[in-house]
Structure 1
Amino acid sequence: MTTLHQEHLAHAHTHGPDCGHTEVPHGDHVDYAHNGHLHREHGGHWDECEADGHTTHPDHEHRHGEDCGHATVLHGDHIDYLHDGHRHAEHEGHWDDH
């Protein structure tokens, strides 16, 4: 899975530990959930941090939902669940690993 490099233009807000947006660990950096988007600092600007492609999380038996205990992140038209350093999204009867 690769990440597109798409700069979020006119993004004046500076994300950080106290900015009020959910931190989402993502590999070697932290994304910030902001208005249904994920933002990542990159080269002095903020990128839209979106996965390219479809990656199924194999053998994921846990069912996420309202009372599952995992933090939720609004992501476009659906909700992702933060679980063990990954974002999981329900997709066609299985869980995707974002």
Structure 2
Amino acid sequence: MKAVKDAVSGCAGGFTFTAEGQEAQQFTKVAPGKPVGSGDESAAFTIDGKTDGGETTVNAEVVRHGSTVATYYALNLAALAGKKADTSIPEEIVTAQESKLK
């Protein structure tokens, strides 16, 4: 979990990612967020990136329950068409998953 939190601050200014055989993807900003999960430890962050159609935001959360680590992501695929939508991670989904991990 410390590595996740360190990466959020270390990547605050953005980064570039290239998947094998794909064009480079530019992420412009990484910022800490407020986790909705509990667990033994949790970290949340937001990643802003550039796409062919403009910009998109990905919200992510990492929650540790003992030796189990769960990750949650939410993104707005409609942003590729220029549409805005809420990209927060629904608390009820995290809560439902956490009940299975306890």
TM-score, normalised with respect to structure 2? 0.26
Which structure shows the higher strand fraction?
A: 1
Which structure shows the higher helix fraction?
A: 2
